[in-house]
Amino acid sequence: MRCAAAFLWFLAPLAAVADEEDLFVATPLTQAGEFTPGIEGPACDAEGNIYAVNFARQGTIGRVTPDGKGEVFVSLPDDSVGNGIRFDSSGTMFVADYVNHNVLRINPDTREISLFVHEPKMNQPNDLAIAPDGTLFASDPNWKDGTGQVWRIARDGTVTLAAAAMGTTNGIEVSPDGRTLYVNESKQRNIWSFAIADDGTLQDKRLFATFPDHGFDGMRCDVDGNLYISRYGKGMVAVVSPECEVIREIDVLGAKPSNLCFGGPDGRTVYVTEVEHARLVKFRTDRPGREWIGK
């Protein structure tokens, strides 16, 4: 891996925790084949349930309990197929519908699905990130051409092109302080950082890191700002510090992790959508995800 200024490899010691448990050791949560190979998402609600797309068949969103019991939560309308999922602070679910150039909004109590954004200029909205003020950012790759862009979606649904002329934009995440947006490019294996200005625009684009092999998919931050990055094709989740140090890599029991999220009662369980076996796997960490700041 190359950082913006230097090559840095770093293997941190396992952090001490109050209880004795196996950290950074993946185990299956669902049975192989319960999802389709289009498994993606994922996101956790306040009760600890995990949501991921394409449970049992394409075009669905599955809900899986913390003990691994799954069901179809909703079937998406109009041949839509979801990808990234995010919850806002009120519990509303947002889903990137890459087939119909939409971001969908779902009421988790009524399961009502509504159109939040339709933008014909989108290639195929892929992953979503949400800032502390509720602003959504959507990665938007063009896989055929190896290009991509990033969209900013205000809380009122106003859509603005935030970053153009990029590589195949895929994983996307906001830093814990809400001031930095990280975007990776799957084919080019770059991770870029942008400063998020007070008006929500993206500024000061910088190359954060470059990896020499394998692809990228989803990313999430913990409360310390460490990036957990799905290494599609390598079968690992890489943990990279804000200083661009590789802290560790976690084997996720399949070659094609597509995305991940933090959950569990303490925010220290990472759930990974794993394509090779079409299932969810999980592992425990020493620090919670950034959504647990202040909890």
User: Could you report the per-residue pLDDT of 251-291, keeping only the tens digit for each?
Assistant: 999 999 999 999 999 999 999 999 999 999 999 999 999 99
- Give the per-residue pLDDT at 146: 97
User: Beta-carbon neighbour count of residue 252 at 10 Å?
Assistant: 26
Q: Where are the domains of the chain?
A: 2-292
Predicted confidence (pLDDT) per residue in 14-27, tens digit: 344 445 689 999 99
**Rounded mean pLDDT, 161-184:** 98
**Rounded mean pLDDT, 235-241:** 98
Phi and psi at residue 292, to the nearest 5°: -90, 5
- Give the per-residue pLDDT at 128: 98
| pLDDT of 8 higher than 80 | no
On the 0-12 / 13-18 / 19+ scale of CB atoms within 10 A, 51 is: buried
Q: Name which residue leads in pLDDT, 180 or 20.
A: 180
pLDDT band per the 50, 70, 90 thresholds, residue 152 = very high
- Give the per-residue pLDDT at 1: 65
Structural tokens at position 92: 């509303």
Residue labelled with tokens 């620090």: 287
The string of DSSP letters for 73-112 reads EEE-STT--EEEEEE-TT--EEEEETTTTEEEEE-TTT--
CA angle, residues 94, 169, 116, in degrees to nearest 5: 20
Residue 197 in contact with residue 203, Cβ under 8 Å?
Answer: yes
Predicted confidence (pLDDT) per residue in 43-52, tens digit: 999 999 999 9
Predicted confidence (pLDDT) per residue in 57-102, tens digit: 999 999 999 999 999 999 999 999 999 999 999 999 999 999 999 9
Q: Which residues lie across from 138 on neighbouring strands?
A: 128, 151
Lowest mean pLDDT among 4-18, 30-44, 182-196: 4-18
Residue 108 in contact with residue 86, Cβ under 8 Å?
Answer: no
**Rounded mean pLDDT, 98-109:** 97
| pLDDT of 216 higher than 50 | yes
The strands making up 279-284's β-sheet, listed across from edge to edge, are 27-28, 279-284, 269-274, 257-263
Using alpha carbons, select from 177, 178, 172 the residue that is nearest to residue 192.
172
Question: Considering the entire predicted model, what is its pTM?
Answer: 0.94
Look over the chain and give the mean of its residue pLDDT values, rounded to a whole number.
Answer: 94
Q: Would you give the DSSP letter of residue 266?
A: T
Query: d(Cα 86, Cα 96) in Å, to the nearest integer?
Result: 9
Structural tokens at position 246: 């590789």
CATH of domain 2-292: 2.120.10.30
Residue 222 in contact with residue 290, Cβ under 8 Å?
Answer: yes
- Give the per-residue pLDDT at 293: 86
